[in-house]
Structure 1
């Protein structure tokens, strides 16, 4: 049982319908309905009367509503007592799949530290499903994840687009493929390959690209940063979103470069993911603003000119 589920039930009660409640919470109606359905399963009672004309709180729901409101009030008092809005004691927790770290995340963290020296930020490298779970549980405040076109955020979470780019083959700067304008999938089959571990979008994309015929020699790792380091050390080639490589420290140092992956039109989108109903503290708002501002600046700068 999550606080967000209780807040969904109260919203439907106060606004009189799923539609109006979803608009208030900035959630889709299916996501809102699913959140309450899960709460119903946990409690073993029907909380909403769902009819063609709409959904209203049920008799059981009305009887439980005072207890729900009491829990939410207690949570509010707990947050206030803990000084949750106190900037000096606020820890921001950022979950990332380690993409565009040098060009996007690190500069934003430097700016935030300069503006607010008392701020405390914890960056956690994790798979996307772990980031989503951390956001839902409240152990993370922000997630930086990669998605494909048409991917929707999980129920209770919202995405704001930051960067979009094609998939490129990442290679050592002295690799023979640097003479090519693009690299075919078939050519990768004879090269050692560095794959992202299951749970990362690039692993999902590798399954789509290679199907049942993977490179004969390959290794797997966690996140783009480790993948680029392994490529620089000669462990193999990999593919990543172009925005994860352009301006990276290893690229600027001349250790790695990239070429387009032929025959793949899919673009990858980097988004910042947060809780739909999460409390927006001043440090969190500033972090989100800086991420969007920095991303907008990167979109205006040619890839070859990007620096951290």
Structure 2
């Protein structure tokens, strides 16, 4: 049972319909209905009277309403009394696909540490599906994911855009292709290639890039950070978002370089993925603000 589920039932009661309640909590109707269904299953009662004309609070729900409101009032008093002190010893968990670490994440964590020194952050490097699952079940507080145009977050989650840029080839600095202004798909097919494992957006993009004809020598790995390290060590070439390479220590040291890929005009965006909830905990809000502020510093003012 989650506090948000109780809030959803109260919202349906106050607004008189599932549609208006979903608008008030910024959650889709199917996601709101599913959350209440899980609560109904756990409590063993029917809380919503679902009809073709819409869904409203049931008789059993009305009987339980005072108890639900009492719980929410107690939670509100607890949060107010504790304030930020409850977050002092709590570890904030951020899932990331491992991109823009040097460009965005590390500077944002430094900013957060300077502004809120008691906040502890655990960075979990993983694929996008586990990030989405962790956000939905509460085991992760925030996520950093790569998205393509048209990609939508799962129900119950939403994205805050941070960075966007082209896809580039990543090469060792002394590779023969590094002397060119750009490389093409045929160049990449002829070289050993370091691909991201299935489940990463860059794997999807590589499928688009190579079609049925992949490089003969192929290595798969987890995440951009390992990919760049393997390129630096001579395991092959790879493709990544430009913002994942710019400012990376390996690029700053001149170990790896990036080059445009001829004919590949796909833009990749980095988004901060969050759970839809009526309240954002202070420590989550602090890291969100640090990331969005850093993103604006990277991209510059709009216009």
The equivalent of 1:57 in structure 2 is 57
The equivalent of 1:272 in structure 2 is 272
Secondary structure of the corresponding residue to residue 88 of structure 2: helix
Could you report, residue by residue, the CA deviation over 1:50-81 in whole angstroms, capped at 9, with x for unpaired residues?
44543212345445656655776777688789
Between the aligned partners of 2:94 and 2:78, the Cα distance in structure 1 is 23
Between the aligned partners of 1:208 and 1:33, the Cα distance in structure 2 is 36
State the shift of 1:277 in Å.
Answer: 0.8
Say whether residues 1:196 and 2:207 are aligned partners: no
> Mean alpha-carbon deviation: is it higher for 256-265 or for 158-167?
256-265
TM-score (norm. length: structure 2): 0.87
Could you report, residue by residue, the CA deviation over 1:159-213 in whole angstroms, capped at 9, with x for unpaired residues?
1000011111111112222233332223222211111112211112222222322
Secondary structure of the corresponding residue to residue 182 of structure 1: coil
Secondary structure of the corresponding residue to residue 12 of structure 2: helix
Between the aligned partners of 1:288 and 1:199, the Cα distance in structure 2 is 25
> Mean alpha-carbon deviation: is it higher for 291-300 or for 210-219?
210-219
Runs of 4+ displaced beyond 6 Å: 41-45, 73-84
Between the aligned partners of 2:89 and 2:270, the Cα distance in structure 1 is 29
Between the aligned partners of 1:249 and 1:276, the Cα distance in structure 2 is 35
The equivalent of 1:126 in structure 2 is 126
Structure 1 residues 212, 57: CA separation in 2 closer, same or farther (over 3 Å shift)? farther
Could you report, residue by residue, the CA deviation over 1:240-263 in whole angstroms, capped at 9, with x for unpaired residues?
111111111111110111112222
Q: Which runs of 5+ in 1 are unaligned?
A: 302-308
Between the aligned partners of 1:215 and 1:9, the Cα distance in structure 2 is 54
Between the aligned partners of 1:203 and 1:72, the Cα distance in structure 2 is 44
The equivalent of 1:305 in structure 2 is none
State the shift of 1:284 in Å.
Answer: 2.0
The equivalent of 2:167 in structure 1 is 167
Between the aligned partners of 1:254 and 1:73, the Cα distance in structure 2 is 58
CA contact (8 A) 1:2 1:137 kept: no
Could you report, residue by residue, the CA deviation over 1:74-108 in whole angstroms, capped at 9, with x for unpaired residues?
77688789987534223211111111000101011
Secondary structure of the corresponding residue to residue 284 of structure 1: helix
The equivalent of 2:114 in structure 1 is 114
The equivalent of 2:251 in structure 1 is 251
CA contact (8 A) 1:147 1:271 kept: yes
TM-score (norm. length: structure 1): 0.86
Between the aligned partners of 1:161 and 1:51, the Cα distance in structure 2 is 38
The equivalent of 2:227 in structure 1 is 227
Between the aligned partners of 1:127 and 1:81, the Cα distance in structure 2 is 37
Between the aligned partners of 1:9 and 1:239, the Cα distance in structure 2 is 47
Between the aligned partners of 2:236 and 2:2, the Cα distance in structure 1 is 44
Say whether residues 1:9 and 2:9 are aligned partners: yes
Say whether residues 1:239 and 2:239 are aligned partners: yes
- Map 1:76-87 to 2 at 5 A: 85-87=85-87
Between the aligned partners of 1:279 and 1:54, the Cα distance in structure 2 is 27
State the shift of 1:114 in Å.
Answer: 1.7
CA contact (8 A) 1:84 1:90 kept: no
CA contact (8 A) 2:98 2:225 kept: yes
Say whether residues 1:177 and 2:177 are aligned partners: yes
The equivalent of 2:103 in structure 1 is 103
State the shift of 1:215 in Å.
Answer: 1.2
The equivalent of 2:143 in structure 1 is 143
State the shift of 1:219 in Å.
Answer: 1.0
